[in-house]
Amino acid sequence: MTTVDSLLRRPVRWNRPLLWLTAAAAVLALVSAVGIVADDRILTGVPIWLKPFKFAVSFVLYAWTLAWMLAILPRRSRAAEWSGIVVVGVAVVELAIIVTQVARGTTSHYNVATPFDAILWSAMGTSIMVLFLAQVVIGVVTLRQRIPDRVAAYAIRLGLAVSLLGMALGFLMTSQVTDGGAIGAHSVGVEDGGPGMPITGWSTVGGDLRISHFVGLHALQALPLLAYAMGRWTGWVPRARARLMLIIGCAYAVLVLLLTWQALRAQPLLQPDGLTLAALAALAAVTTVASITVVRRTT
């Protein structure tokens, strides 16, 4: 039977546009890193080049992961391949707008200060919706195809599903109304641009919807990597690993929802109240007990 390890090693048919996007985003990440050091402009409380840096790194991971997922499918899917190309087009639009606004010295997200800003923000909103639908198509294709290794199948399908959840939660940011009447913000209970954590910029004085958005999106990498680690460094039989992947994937989705709930209640990530801690402890306990039970019964 094919293992996750062999899926990572075997020769594959890569989606070249997604690989080109990976390379281009990597170059943009390097340029943005230089900009963070060389350009002393500050926007919303952080270096102006931090946003393109974070988005570029995110697209490096996203594009490469999707390219790998498409490459290991047992049968090549025209719908999935074209969806990958759509992702590339959307990413180019998104990154181009972010860099354009940095060059103009203004924000890209939620910016409707001028007609031109509003057009760019509208284009970004549309592009993200298209990206979401393209990933839905890829998710449906992975559900319809029979991936020989159940552990890999669960990791890929759950990763895509939880990633879609994280992407969908991003739309909460566009519906927020700030005290100033502006529509769109990532902070809850405080204005955007206040005190934040290093690198991520997540608010340290209020809720921040970017946290669950980030955690959800990167299930796309986290769950396949976990599947690989279990196959590589544990002696658990495939049935145990498959069941564990189901448990952990579901727990991951619940964690994303809990982080969203925490943010919507205007709580900083590192300052949860008793109710949030109790919910997180309950999730950890249930996940741990279920995991231990599976390992004991199948090994």
pLDDT tens column, 9-61: 554 578 899 999 999 999 999 999 999 999 999 988 889 999 999 999 999 99
Q: Where are the domains of the chain?
A: 13-146, 180-298
Looking at residue 278, its amino acid is A
C-alpha span between 130 and 124 (Å, rounded): 10
Per-residue pLDDT tens digits for 235-259:
899 899 999 999 999 999 999 999 9
Distance between CA atoms of 30 and 114, rounded to whole angstroms? Answer: 30
CATH topology of domain 13-146: Four Helix Bundle (Hemerythrin (Met), subunit A) (1.20.120)
Answer yes or no: is pLDDT of 180 > 60. no
CA 128 to chain centroid: 13
**What pLDDT, in 10s, does the model give residues 193-232?**
888 888 888 999 999 999 999 999 999 999 999 999 998 8
The reported pTM is 0.89
